[in-house]
Structure 1
Amino acid sequence: MPRPLHALPKAHLHLHFTGSMRHSTLIELARDQGLHLPDALEQDWPPKLRATDERGWFRFQRLYDIARSVLTRPEHVYRLLAETAEDEVAAGSRWLEIQVDPSGYATRFGGLTATLELMLDAAGRAAERAGIGLAVIVAANRIRHPLDANTLARLATQYAGKVVGFGLSNDERRGAARDFERAFRIAKRGGLLAVPHGGELMGPRSVAQCVDDLGADRVGHGVRAAEDQWLMQRLADRQICCEICPSSNVGLGVAERDADVPLRRLFDAGVPIALGADDPLLFGTRLLRQYELAREVHGFSDAEVAELARQSVRSSTAPETVRKELLQGVDDWLASPPAPSPAE
């Protein structure tokens, strides 16, 4: 029997704040506040999504915005992060980098600075309570003006340390990477990792633009890089990690089936990979399921799954002492005997 994946120490580098909410929490908060949820977020959950066209992405974004609307008080932020940290620990995650766009909550919580400080405080408390490393990535929105991204980058650098990276999310078809070059220059000058989304709804050129125009240290998703052998070699040579989210790829129609996600192709090409859950609230699965898919669908052995976990740790911003501890934990997991079969 294979070794239990929940016991494998790992880092989770691609998880969005609102999308990390438990479905049960969404339902409870909506009912407590008398908010109506569409069927797709209630009895028909998880929703059937396909975002490869403009209409599909609009529906996905609308559901996301509705979910965000239930988080109206500071205690909701504390609860969300506390529960998320608990869920991460249950999946074997020992280091989490969670991504948030403070501008999505600024009008509720007293402005951009107050919102970010609230989330950082909630993250710190959640980490201490659950016994997990938890850092924040501030993300700009690709469909907003690049000047807004500049403002967020300056804000993020003021909290460097607790904020570890600067991202760029939303529909990559709506904003060219080069338009946000200044924001990423500000962020990198302030000591933050550059972690823009790319290569999800657009092809390998989108990944290359993240690397060339934004100086990406990691690429959110990046799965479409598998369509270009030269690009994969470049990512492998430079050890630029792709944050691959298999369930999200299928949920949004980037891949038709689990088996169509090119996880094996990227791995065999030497591209560093950090498996991520993206938005469990909308896709219905968390981090552990992504590792299960690697094993069950893509045929990864325990040694290869362990290497996926190592790559997630190496690509993280975890302090060196934490990295060493987690990497040793991965080695210990692999050295342990496989679980006995039921017959034994």
Structure 2
Amino acid sequence: MTDPFRNHYVALPKAHLHVHLEAAMREATLRQWCSEDGIAVPPLVEFSDFTRFLDAYGVLIELLHTPERVGRLLDEVVADAAAQGVVALEYASIPEKSAAFASAEEALEFILPAAAEAGRRHGVWTGAVLSIDRGAGPDHALAGARLAARFADRGVVAVGLVNDERDSSVTAAAEAFAIARDAGLGVVPHVGELAGPEEVRAAIELGVDRIQHGVRAVEDPWVLDLLAETGTCLDVCPTSNVVLGVYPSLEQHPLPTLLEAGVRCSIGADDPLLFGVDVVDEYVRAEERMGIASARLAECARTSVEASFAPDEIKLDALARLA
């Protein structure tokens, strides 16, 4: 990848809508903290299965055991986003898993203002997506949605749904999603990654705002048409899908098919540290290895801004620059 080619996509104003906070840690920071704590550096980029990926993610969470580390992480993640031409960053996290704080509420009370301050320093709007762990049961989902609702005017912009979808349908979170909507929050679940197009259809029927991944919609033409008809945005992360074995290579990834079918897509990096790419890398790879024209990728950037929960003034400025 040439610097001028990368610089073209750095200069493209974009929102990064699919990125998990802990896994956006810098590799140098990871190695420093592992050394300080006397633990092994987890595997990066290569995982034998989804469980090994979750194990590596668990190490990242374990490292964030002081507020000082969480504050440094937030500043570095937002600084990196700014360097990648990101104008709006929606970062996902599960606050109750933080070892640095006594409760999920305490975690959010620290994280949200720290992220906003980092955003002001680096010129990036930030919004938090509170992730519900679909494997933790219905009580956890309801508690997570109610927690998000309490922080709806303090930096939380949406609720998400994470973990292995093969064991729990998106429909199980319907009540939690309703609580989030009543609080004015968005709903952005992970579906259509490890499970098939039936989960994408179920999410659309629940009225979600965006779908994280959703790529397996291509397996059902009816669902593909439904996505295009409703205008539901997919937050697509091609490298993540390849590393986790959803597709064998970038060349066989369905992002070009989705775009040709009229599906609105944003492009994200998902877990930059664990998958070895940032959001600009994903744009570059989409052109170089997937054959997507730069003009169409500029439309993905436009979609990312339009589909974000950023304030109107942030969107209008970015869209004017894209125009």
Q: What TM-score range do you get, normalising by the shorter chain? A: over 0.9
Over residues 58-106 of structure 1, what are the superposed CA-to-partner deviations in whole Å (9 max), with x where a residue is unaligned? 111111101211111001111111111111111111110001111211x
1:62 aligns with 2:55: yes
1:23 aligns with 2:30: no
Corresponding position of 1:310: 302
Whole-angstrom distance in 1 between the partners of 2:101 and 2:218: 41
Q: 2:164 aligns with which of 171, 185, 191?
A: 171
Percent identity of paired positions between Structure 1 and Structure 2 = 39
Whole-angstrom distance in 2 between the partners of 1:315 and 1:131: 19
Corresponding position of 2:80: 87
Deviation of 1:33 after TM superposition, in Å, equals 2.3
SS in 2 for 1:149: helix
Whole-angstrom distance in 2 between the partners of 1:96 and 1:169: 18
Q: In the alignment, residue 122 of structure 1 is paired with which amino acid?
A: A
Q: 2:121 aligns with which of 121, 125, 129?
A: 129
Q: Is the 8 A contact 1:78 1:126 kept in 2?
A: no
Q: 2:313 aligns with which of 321, 328, 333?
A: 321
Corresponding position of 2:11: 7
Question: Cα RMSD over matched residues?
Answer: 1.4
Deviation of 1:300 after TM superposition, in Å, equals 2.2
Q: 1:120 aligns with which of 98, 112, 128?
A: 112
Give TM-score, length-normalised by structure 1. 0.89
Structure 1 residues not aligned, in runs of 5+: 41-45, 51-55, 332-344
Corresponding position of 1:48: 46
1:98-113 aligned at under 5 Å gives the runs 98-105=91-98, 107-113=99-105
Whole-angstrom distance in 2 between the partners of 1:47 and 1:275: 19
SS in 2 for 1:299: coil
Deviation of 1:47 after TM superposition, in Å, equals 3.5
- How many residues are matched? 318
SS in 1 for 2:147: helix
Over residues 12-39 of structure 1, what are the superposed CA-to-partner deviations in whole Å (9 max), with x where a residue is unaligned? 000001111111111111112223334x
Deviation of 1:301 after TM superposition, in Å, equals 2.2
Q: In the alignment, residue 163 of structure 1 is paired with which amino acid?
A: V
Deviation of 1:223 after TM superposition, in Å, equals 0.7
Corresponding position of 2:36: 32
1:1-344 aligned at under 5 Å gives the runs 4-38=8-42, 40=43, 46-50=44-48, 56-105=49-98, 107-161=99-153, 162-212=155-205, 214-331=206-323
Whole-angstrom distance in 1 between the partners of 2:53 and 2:282: 21
SS in 1 for 2:52: helix
Q: In the alignment, residue 11 of structure 1 is paired with which amino acid?
A: A
Q: Is the 8 A contact 1:198 1:222 kept in 2?
A: yes
SS in 2 for 1:139: strand
SS in 1 for 2:91: strand
Q: Is the 8 A contact 2:64 2:100 kept in 1?
A: no
Whole-angstrom distance in 2 between the partners of 1:88 and 1:123: 12
Structure 2 residues not aligned, in runs of 5+: none
Corresponding position of 1:53: none
SS in 2 for 1:72: coil
Over residues 84-142 of structure 1, what are the superposed CA-to-partner deviations in whole Å (9 max), with x where a residue is unaligned? 1111111111110001111211x530111101111112211210111101110101001
Runs of 4+ in 1 over 3 A off after TM superposition: none
